[in-house]
Homo-oligomer: A and B are copies of this chain.
Amino acid sequence: MNQPLRVGIAGLGTVGASAVRLLESRSNGLVPRTGRALRITGLSARTRERDRGFDPAPYSWFDDATALASNPDIDIFVELIGGEDGPALDAVRAALKAGKHVVTANKALIAKHGLALGRLAAEHDVQIGFEAAVAGGIPVIKTLREALAGNEVDHVSGILNGTCNYILTRMQQDRIGFDECLAEAQRLGYAEADPTFDVQGYDTAHKLAILTSLAFGTEIDAESVYVEGITSITLADLDAADELGYKIKLLGVAQRTESGIEQRVHPTMIPKSAAIAQIDGVLNGVAIDGDAVGQVVLVGPGAGGDATASAVIADLADIARGLKIPAFGRPPETLAPYTRARMRRHEGGYYIRFSVVDRPGAFARIATCMADNDISLESIVQRKRAVRSAPAAETEPHAQQPVVLLTYETTEAAIRQALETIETAGVIASKPQIIRIEAARTA
């Protein structure tokens, strides 16, 4: 039997405390599964004196995470501090340079510094595990990095933020407005006091950038992700979506196209029959399309102390078992540069909701602008009375009434051009709402 692997854990918030408790309760049970014991030896957090549901007495205490990270008495450094720079980055760098393996749940850190940290890990011949950084307890990193190794992946889409999914589900199911749902999510602990990062889509963008690198073998590039949040989604949109057979989800999508790889985060209309449309509440889910396997969908808790700690333990167990795999599944020097597909070249269907002004010919003007840009309309919904297959609304204008159009597949550039012309023509009362449609990818 090998010597136990000594684990230092920095950051004892919800996830950190769960990780300590879970590792304490499972460490004996893990030995037959890994061939090597995992023992906590050191801890670090801002305050030692707090009841976290375990006794810190048996472990060395470090006020400074970096001191723990480079301490000779640990073999693996677990970073659960959070933040893309600052102490988390310093400590992870120190650990790798000192030849320690690293396990982290920090998506912001990996999204921004993953490539550099992957290089550092390779240089020092140690592992860096971040299963917990994306979709909590769902093994999406392992699935992309190992289980689908024989596939060319051409599309990954995910519901990666439980806060947004909770809010959209609640709005849709109970017809409650965004602000009220957000306040409720905050009361229930599903949303942060400052929810900007979640509801504006940035959290999803970080996670998506990590998945993109794993799926396509490209250098991680979180800066290039096109990001729209969910703050503009109204009950009118959710009602129209429902009527048209769709659900609205905040989706992160990475997709191979002729001009490069699209990375985009935005509210998305998904056909109700799609597997990912069924994922409601705080759950996360990821759909991966591989050329050999077809579509695999993984669903589960995307956040929470124990679910995230489960992923931390999985990474620790892999390291104990002796797994040797580069951070993004391939040696850093073999990752291809990320080639960004411009959002203007995105192709797909669009949902557009207008408030059309009460003026003769206003709708005709809109229809003409769409036609001038080669945009074909699949359906028109006016005043929630019916879904029609042809633009018959011209003769019955309703002042400031919402008109919803669904287009057939077109390009983002055409949509933007058409909307610019429509806006300057003064036939709509406010900025149009645009939601991209994701076609079903499996039968």
A117 proximal to B (CB < 8 A): no
| Interface size band for A | 35 or more
As a 0/1 sequence over residues 139 to 159 of chain A, the CB contacts with chain B under 8 angstroms (1 = contact) are 100110011111110000000
Determine how close the nearest CB of chain B comes to the CB of A53; give it in whole angstroms. Answer: 14
Determine how close the nearest CB of chain B comes to the CB of A35; give it in whole angstroms. Answer: 8
A298 and B298 in contact (CB under 8 A), knowing A30-B150, A317-B146, A329-B33? yes
Q: Are B322 and A324 in contact (CB under 8 A)?
A: yes
Determine how close the nearest CB of chain B comes to the CB of A391; give it in whole angstroms. Answer: 33
A401 proximal to B (CB < 8 A): no
A299 and B296 in contact (CB under 8 A), knowing A150-B22, A281-B443, A313-B150? yes
As a 0/1 sequence over residues 303 to 315 of chain A, the CB contacts with chain B under 8 angstroms (1 = contact) are 0101101111110
**The residue from B297, B299, B312, B325 contacting A321, defined by CB atoms under 8 A apart:** B325
Name the prevailing secondary structure of the A interface residues: mixed
**The residue from B29, B131, B294, B318 contacting A307, defined by CB atoms under 8 A apart:** B294
**Chain B CB within 10 Å — which of A18, A139, A147 has the most?**
A147
Q: Are A321 and B324 in contact (CB under 8 A)?
A: yes
Chain B residues with Cβ below 8 Å from A292 are 18, 22, 137, 306-307, 309-310, 313
**The residue from B34, B151, B334 contacting A32, defined by CB atoms under 8 A apart:** B334
A371 proximal to B (CB < 8 A): no
Determine how close the nearest CB of chain B comes to the CB of A24; give it in whole angstroms. Answer: 11
A314 and B137 in contact (CB under 8 A), knowing A275-B299, A300-B295, A322-B324? no
Chain B residues with Cβ below 8 Å from A298 are 296-299
**Chain B CB within 10 Å — which of A33, A142, A323, A324 has the most?**
A33
A187 proximal to B (CB < 8 A): no
A437 proximal to B (CB < 8 A): no
A113 proximal to B (CB < 8 A): no
Chain B residues with Cβ below 8 Å from A330 are 32-33
Chain B residues with Cβ below 8 Å from A143 are 139, 142-143
**Chain B CB within 10 Å — which of A34, A217, A295, A299 has the most?**
A299
A381 proximal to B (CB < 8 A): no
A301 proximal to B (CB < 8 A): yes
User: What's the Cα separation between A18 and B310 when bound, in Å?
Assistant: 35
User: What's the Cα separation between A383 and B310 when bound, in Å?
Assistant: 49
User: What's the Cα separation between A307 and B149 when bound, in Å?
Assistant: 12
A138 proximal to B (CB < 8 A): yes
As a 0/1 sequence over residues 217 to 254 of chain A, the CB contacts with chain B under 8 angstroms (1 = contact) are 10000000000000000000000000000000000000
Chain B residues with Cβ below 8 Å from A152 are 29
A290 proximal to B (CB < 8 A): yes
**The residue from B23, B278, B294 contacting A301, defined by CB atoms under 8 A apart:** B294
Chain B residues with Cβ below 8 Å from A312 are 150
A193 proximal to B (CB < 8 A): no
Chain B residues with Cβ below 8 Å from A32 are 217, 330-331, 334
A26 proximal to B (CB < 8 A): yes
As a 0/1 sequence over residues 4 to 48 of chain A, the CB contacts with chain B under 8 angstroms (1 = contact) are 000000000000001000110010011011110000000000000
**The residue from B150, B295, B322 contacting A26, defined by CB atoms under 8 A apart:** B150
A293 proximal to B (CB < 8 A): yes
A residues apposed to B, CB below 8 Å: 18, 22-23, 26, 29-30, 32-35, 131, 137-139, 142-143, 146-152, 217, 275, 278-279, 281, 290-301, 304, 306-307, 309-314, 316-318, 321-325, 329-331, 334, 443
The 8 closest A-B pairs by CB, nearest first: A150-B313, A139-B147, A137-B293, A296-B300, A292-B310, A293-B310, A149-B317, A32-B330
Known: A22-B292, A293-B306, A293-B307. 7 other contacts (CB 8 A): A131-B147, A139-B147, A147-B314, A148-B310, A150-B309, A295-B301, A296-B301
Name 21 interchain pairs, CB-CB below 8 A, sorted by A.
A32-B217, A32-B331, A33-B149, A34-B149, A35-B324, A137-B293, A138-B296, A139-B142, A139-B146, A142-B142, A142-B147, A146-B321, A149-B317, A150-B312, A292-B306, A292-B309, A292-B310, A293-B301, A293-B311, A295-B300, A297-B298
